[in-house]
Structure 1
Amino acid sequence: MNKIQILNELKDHQDTLQKVIDTLSGDIEEACEMITSTIKSGNKVLLAGNGGSAADAQHIAAELSGRFVKDRKPLPGIALTVDTSALTSIANDYGYEHVFSRQVEAFGKPGDLFIGISTSGNSPGILAAFESAKKLELKTLGLSGRDGGKMNGLCQLNVIVPSNITARIQEMHILIGHILCTAVDNLFE
């Protein structure tokens, strides 16, 4: 890439970030309340996504169970994307669209929080997981982009990054994930 292309990418990132600042601060504050109330009540956070969103789910779960910035007790953050035996057996026996919903049903309890990440808001496996989470009375938080997709009707709060570009959406998702982790860290003085 040449310097102009690099500067265009950085400018596009900056423009997307400004849109997030202008339109999503209230939703992000509500998402922070969802995750902090979950942790304060002794419940766990389950996360899932596909591809880059799977990496984001794992990243956020690691910040919870390990640490983010503060040296605090480990917290129950579980990425439903990491157990290859569960993923492959569920996909083989029930279909890929059930790889997360079956795990939500196995691990989720009322009061837990399920965070589903999908740049389109339409990933079938994430949608099915939201349906299972709702039935089991988990709190539900979506991180999406574009117009929010079908996730709009399936989660309590869908934080929709105002972009149609997958890379920009994913960049904002991990920023929002880090803000959530900061809110959790702030619980521990």
Structure 2
Amino acid sequence: MSHYALIQLIRKYPELAECEADIAAAADTIAASYRAGGKLLLCGNGGSASDCDHIVGELMKGFMSKRPLPEKVRSAFSAQFPENGDYLSDHLQGALPAISLNGSSALASAYANDVAADMVYAQQVYGYGQPGDVLLGISTSGNSANVIRALQTAKVRKLTTVGLTGRSGGKMSDLCDIAIKVPWDITPDVQERHLPIYHTLCIMLEDYFFLQD
């Protein structure tokens, strides 16, 4: 996998140099899961939940490129739907499967009320997760209970666990196969570094799957 985007990230944010190896490992791990037919699950607490939605938006559609459909797929649409095949093909883009676990308000409210609020993500990891999938947990402190429960469930379900957190890593450190710990402590400072990191991950994955010669 090309690390050009990662090199550019470190040039812009030199303080993230200590995270470089972990960012590269996370990109390689997620790519390996996609190659094997897996998917990426994401969960985060508070503002980090919005980051999960943001990442899904970059992976499930074109981010830095338009990701046109392969000619074989376009032909299949045209054969099945002669009148609409071109329209469908022209308005679909290559996707990298990613699911943000904070997306279902009905499930979340029901589970929080009927069972346990800190288990909302864990339940979805149990239901959606398959061996070979990757769970990305985001918590600035590394101690968010809802993210921790999801990571614990992922370990039992044989998912690979990746964490995006702050300097200490908190409890996430022992639960993540790969922990990207930005060298900051205060929540806004940590979150401000998370965004360029996950943008870089998305660019690396997009380049790998859609821009290869």
Question: Shorter chain as normaliser: what TM range?
Answer: 0.7 to 0.9
1:63-119 CA distances to partner (integer Å, 9 max, x unpaired)?
111221122211211000111001111111221110100000010000000000000
Question: Any gaps of 5 or more consecutive residues in structure 2?
Answer: 1-11, 68-93
Show the 5 A alignment for 1:1-189: 17-21=13-17, 23-72=18-67, 73-187=94-208, 188-189=210-211
> Which has the higher Rg, Structure 1 or Structure 2?
2
2:99 is paired with a residue of what secondary structure? strand
Question: How far, CA to CA, are the matches of 2:117 and 2:61 in structure 1?
Answer: 29
2:13 is paired with a residue of what secondary structure? helix
Question: Any gaps of 5 or more consecutive residues in structure 1?
Answer: 1-15
User: CA shift at 1:17, angstroms?
Assistant: 3.3
Question: How far, CA to CA, are the matches of 2:46 and 2:169 in structure 1?
Answer: 18
What letter corresponds to residue 157 of structure 1 in structure 2? I
Question: How far, CA to CA, are the matches of 1:151 and 1:130 in structure 2?
Answer: 8
- Structure 1 runs of 4+ off > 4 angstroms? none
1:115 is paired with a residue of what secondary structure? strand
2:135 is paired with a residue of what secondary structure? strand
Question: How far, CA to CA, are the matches of 1:134 and 1:184 in structure 2?
Answer: 24
Question: How far, CA to CA, are the matches of 2:25 and 2:169 in structure 1?
Answer: 17
Question: How far, CA to CA, are the matches of 1:67 and 1:127 in structure 2?
Answer: 31
User: CA shift at 1:146, angstroms?
Assistant: 3.0
**Number of aligned positions between the proteins:** 173
Question: How far, CA to CA, are the matches of 1:31 and 1:127 in structure 2?
Answer: 18
Contact 1:46/1:79, CA 8 A, preserved across alignment = yes
1:35 is paired with a residue of what secondary structure? helix
Contact 1:96/1:125, CA 8 A, preserved across alignment = yes
1:78 is paired with a residue of what secondary structure? strand
Query: What CA RMSD, in Å, does the superposition of the two structures yield over aligned residues?
Result: 1.3
User: CA shift at 1:182, angstroms?
Assistant: 0.9
User: CA shift at 1:143, angstroms?
Assistant: 0.3
Question: How far, CA to CA, are the matches of 1:69 and 1:86 in structure 2?
Answer: 33
**Stretch deviating more after TM superposition (170-179 or 147-156):** 170-179
Question: How far, CA to CA, are the matches of 2:116 and 2:34 in structure 1?
Answer: 32
Superposition TM-score, scaled by structure 1 size: 0.88
Contact 1:35/1:180, CA 8 A, preserved across alignment = no
